[in-house]
Copies of this chain bind each other. A is one copy, B any other.
Amino acid sequence: MSVDPLPPAPAVALPTPPPVDLEGPLAAAVAAAWAAKTKPPGSLGMLETLGLQLALIQDRSVPRIAAAEVRVFAADHGVVAEGVSPYPQAVTAQMVANFLAGGAAISVLARHADAALRVIDAGVAADLPAHPHLLDRKIASGTANFAEGPAMSVQQRDAALAAGVAIGRGLAPQTALVLGEMGIGNTTSAAAIMAALTGLPPAACVGRGTGLDEAGVARKAGVVARALAVNRLNAGGAVAQGHAGGVPDSAPTVDALGVLAAVGGYEIAMMVGAMIGAASARAVVIVDGFIATAAAAIALAFEPALRPYLVFAHASAEAPHARWLALLGVRPLLSLDLRLGEGSGAILALPLLRAACALLAEMATFESAGVADRI
């Protein structure tokens, strides 16, 4: 990959999510609807916030989850050559087969949640047999080892973004998009993204992933440090002059898309696109754990209008995740010590979205139920 200056914006045209007015008449109507329900004011806590968010996303006072669509993006990572995972790279393709056969955690959870599951080959380093629930969007057979240079070219990044946008934009408006991922090595990619975007030292951004010991975690932090140096990424996401991805004139201080090309993965890039695409179709996006948060952080850095469309499902047991959520100003719905990925945490939050909609739609009011309000 060249270090010549590159075009400031991605070649792909990214849609803009419709603006959401937190202070407008729809927000006021939903607040009034909650206040009239037979319960003390505010006593449904985060479900009331969630109901308001869904109403604003769907632009209707009584939101609903008409369908839930799970999209698991799978890709391989050249950085596994650095020994950052206790599992062999072949597991990515094997787990894709497991997703499709119905035996993985996300397969079981999607089935019981009445959600459709589709797997997207964003860049698995194996030829995957065709399957009606597998979408072939392979950009390449895994990224390059980002400890030695950029993970992908800008063209590859933009192709991944465009494929993701198309997947998200194709969703019906009252759909919940449940985002998951699979890719041996991808906690290292997410950690490098976190370090580049937040400016925190690599050691604060790495966790045990699928089960590294302490020495493995230290090695992983070293790999992230090397990746930042090799890719000329400074703390806080400032991209050194001349780096692939460039720094567009109009951009905020962080060149998130440059970071994505440098140390990202194809599944992460495609999730970024899917978030933007889904939001542009007024679909709520349920963000899973550490890897999905990496995609969300990149997307939010260049498209702040995405923010009201995201529901952060859970705080992962992957050590840096809770801190990253806090830095993003996010309070996740669940905290169950999950660290599996696949969208498992996201789909466990889905019943809460459905509950918020049901309560807003079906609860009686003080007046309709003949219940006395406060003295």
A residues at B contact (CB < 8 Å): 37-47, 86-88, 90-91, 94-95, 97-98, 101-105, 108-109, 111-112, 210-211, 317, 333-340, 344, 348, 351-352, 354-355, 358-359, 362-364, 368-375
Other-chain contact of A94, B44, B45, B369 (Cβ < 8 Å): B369
Q: CB distance A336 to B317 under 8 Å?
A: no
How distant is A176 from chain B, measured CB to nearest CB, in Å? 15
C-alpha gap A45/B334 in the complex (Å): 12
C-alpha gap A90/B373 in the complex (Å): 10
Q: CB distance B40 to A112 under 8 Å?
A: no
CB nearest to A208 among chain B residues: B40
Known: A340-B44, A355-B112. A371 touches B95 (CB 8 A): yes
Other-chain contact of A363, B104, B210, B369 (Cβ < 8 Å): B104
CB nearest to A373 among chain B residues: B87
Known: A87-B374, A358-B108. A103 touches B338 (CB 8 A): no
Q: CB distance A104 to B358 under 8 Å?
A: no
C-alpha gap A334/B331 in the complex (Å): 13
Q: CB distance B339 to A371 under 8 Å?
A: no
Among A42, A87, A98, A211: residue with most chain B CB under 10 A:
A98
Q: CB distance A211 to B369 under 8 Å?
A: no
Other-chain contact of A352, B42, B336, B373 (Cβ < 8 Å): B336
Other-chain contact of A108, B40, B111, B363 (Cβ < 8 Å): B363
**Residues of the B chain whose Cβ atoms lie less than 8 Å from the Cβ of A337:** 45-46
CB nearest to A369 among chain B residues: B98
Other-chain contact of A43, B39, B46, B340, B359 (Cβ < 8 Å): B340
How distant is A29 from chain B, measured CB to nearest CB, in Å? 19
Known: A98-B364, A358-B109, A369-B103. A335 touches B335 (CB 8 A): yes
**Residues of the B chain whose Cβ atoms lie less than 8 Å from the Cβ of A364:** 98, 101-104
Other-chain contact of A104, B38, B97, B104 (Cβ < 8 Å): B38
**Residues of the B chain whose Cβ atoms lie less than 8 Å from the Cβ of A37:** 105
**Residues of the B chain whose Cβ atoms lie less than 8 Å from the Cβ of A334:** 334
C-alpha gap A333/B352 in the complex (Å): 13
A-B contact pairs, 22 of them (CB 8 A): A38-B103, A39-B104, A39-B340, A40-B210, A40-B340, A41-B211, A45-B337, A45-B338, A45-B339, A46-B337, A46-B338, A47-B336, A87-B374, A87-B375, A88-B372, A103-B362, A104-B364, A108-B358, A108-B359, A211-B374, A336-B352, A348-B355
Other-chain contact of A338, B47, B104, B108, B109 (Cβ < 8 Å): B47
Q: CB distance B336 to A336 under 8 Å?
A: no
**Residues of the B chain whose Cβ atoms lie less than 8 Å from the Cβ of A351:** 348, 351
CB nearest to A341 among chain B residues: B43
**Residues of the B chain whose Cβ atoms lie less than 8 Å from the Cβ of A87:** 40, 372-375
**Residues of the B chain whose Cβ atoms lie less than 8 Å from the Cβ of A90:** 372
Other-chain contact of A86, B39, B86, B340, B374 (Cβ < 8 Å): B374
Other-chain contact of A103, B97, B358, B368, B375 (Cβ < 8 Å): B368
**Residues of the B chain whose Cβ atoms lie less than 8 Å from the Cβ of A371:** 91, 94-95, 98
**Residues of the B chain whose Cβ atoms lie less than 8 Å from the Cβ of A317:** 43, 45
**Residues of the B chain whose Cβ atoms lie less than 8 Å from the Cβ of A97:** 369-370
C-alpha gap A371/B39 in the complex (Å): 50
Among A45, A46, A104, A363: residue with most chain B CB under 10 A:
A45
Known: A87-B375, A101-B364. A359 touches B45 (CB 8 A): no
